[in-house]
């Protein structure tokens, strides 16, 4: 995928005038990724902002005990590591990014993008808006655990995933991400065993089941009702 195609697929850039988009081309670097490849680790120097052309990237952080916490999953058209753009010099990435499948990503070095933003400040507002939305999601996750407990947090996570990755099928809303119970628990700090017990309850009530590796929500409104209990 060429740089022009890349710009057209990223909402952040696709609305820019053609002449401004053309100015971005020289500072864009594009590379292919393979499943399981680590794009960067949280201890590495943060020097670029990334964009997904094709594929999915998981963003994780390690606890002091070495447990992996799944912060989010980014897909085609989205950016990641955007917080590094406005960090102090010599800052490190706050999380680790790993490719979930073979794909293509593009990156722009911070120093190049910062210079571009000085010339086109209107783009800065778009980036700030994305950062604000993601901060709100992070705060919502903390709220879910605090207010609803682990079961409510699981329900809220499934509802949120259905919004971001759900596909309507004859059986219900299929979350088009292959996630394990451990992956689900990583979103809100629950163990695999705890998630398995809760998912078994949802399965018995025919609210959520799993088919071919994907979770299927059969009763979305009932799932949402767990947030009010």
**What is the side-by-side order of every strand in the sheet holding 208-211?**
166-169, 172-175, 214-217, 208-211
Q: Read off the pLDDT of each residue in 119-138 and give the average, rounded to a whole number.
A: 72
Q: Read off the pLDDT of each residue in 87-113 and give the average, rounded to a whole number.
A: 88
Q: Tell me: the pLDDT tens digits for 132-189?
A: 676 666 666 656 555 567 888 899 889 989 988 899 999 999 999 888 998 888 887 7
- Helix segments in 76-217, DSSP class H: 110-119, 122-165, 181-188, 192-204
Of 85, 106, 93, 101, whose CA–CA distance to 40 is shortest? 93
Tokens of 172: 């219900």
My answer on whether 158 and 217 are in the same domain is yes
Burial (0-12, 13-18, 19+ Cβ within 10 Å), 186: buried
Please indicate, yes or no, if residue 128 is contained in any of the structural domains. Answer: no
pLDDT for 1: 47
pLDDT for 72: 85
Number of domains in the chain: 2
My answer on whether 98 and 15 are in the same domain is yes
Which residues span the domain enclosing 97? Answer: 3-120
DSSP one-letter code for 45: B
Is 128 a residue whose pLDDT tops 90?
no
Pick the residue with more confidence: 115 or 8? Answer: 115
pLDDT for 122: 72
217 with 169: CB under 8 angstroms? no
Q: Read off the pLDDT of each residue in 113-125 and give the average, rounded to a whole number.
A: 80
pLDDT for 145: 58
Please indicate, yes or no, if residue 137 is contained in any of the structural domains. Answer: no
From 120, 138, 159, give the residue that closes a domain. 120
My answer on whether 85 and 156 are in the same domain is no
My answer on whether 33 and 94 are in the same domain is yes
Share above pLDDT 90 across residues of the chain, in percent, rounded to a whole number: 37
Angle between helix 181-188 and 192-204 (nearest 10): 110
Q: Tell me: the pLDDT tens digits for 34-77?
A: 999 999 999 899 999 999 999 999 999 887 777 778 888 888 88
Q: Assign residue 75 the CATH number of its domain.
A: 2.60.120.10
104 with 1: CB under 8 angstroms? yes
């Amino acid at each position: 995928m060429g740089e022009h195609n890349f710009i057209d697929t990223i909402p952040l850039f696709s609305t820019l005038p053609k002449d401004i988009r053309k100015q971005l081309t020289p500072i864009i670097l594009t590379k292919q990724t393979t499943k399981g490849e680590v794009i960067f680790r949280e201890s590495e120097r943060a020097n670029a902002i990334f964009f997904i052309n094709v594929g999915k990237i998981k963003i994780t952080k390690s606890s002091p005990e070495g447990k992996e916490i799944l912060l989010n999953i980014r897909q085609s058209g989205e950016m990641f590591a955007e917080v590094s753009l406005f960090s102090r010099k010599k800052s490190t990435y706050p999380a680790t990014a790993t490719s979930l499948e073979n794909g293509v990503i593009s990156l722009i070095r911070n120093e190049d993008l910062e210079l571009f933003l000085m010339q086109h400040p209107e783009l800065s507002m778009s980036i700030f808006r994305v950062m604000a939305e993601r901060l709100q999601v992070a705060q919502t996750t903390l709220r879910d655990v605090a207010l609803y407990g682990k079961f409510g947090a699981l329900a809220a996570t499934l509802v949120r995933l259905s919004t971001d990755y759900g596909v309507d099928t004859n059986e219900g809303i299929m979350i088009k991400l292959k996630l394990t119970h451990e992956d689900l628990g990583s979103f809100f700090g629950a163990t695999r065993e705890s998630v398995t017990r809760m998912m078994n309850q949802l399965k018995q009530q025919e609210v959520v089941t799993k088919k071919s590796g994907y979770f299927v929500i059969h009763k979305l409104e009932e799932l949402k009702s767990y947030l009010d209990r």
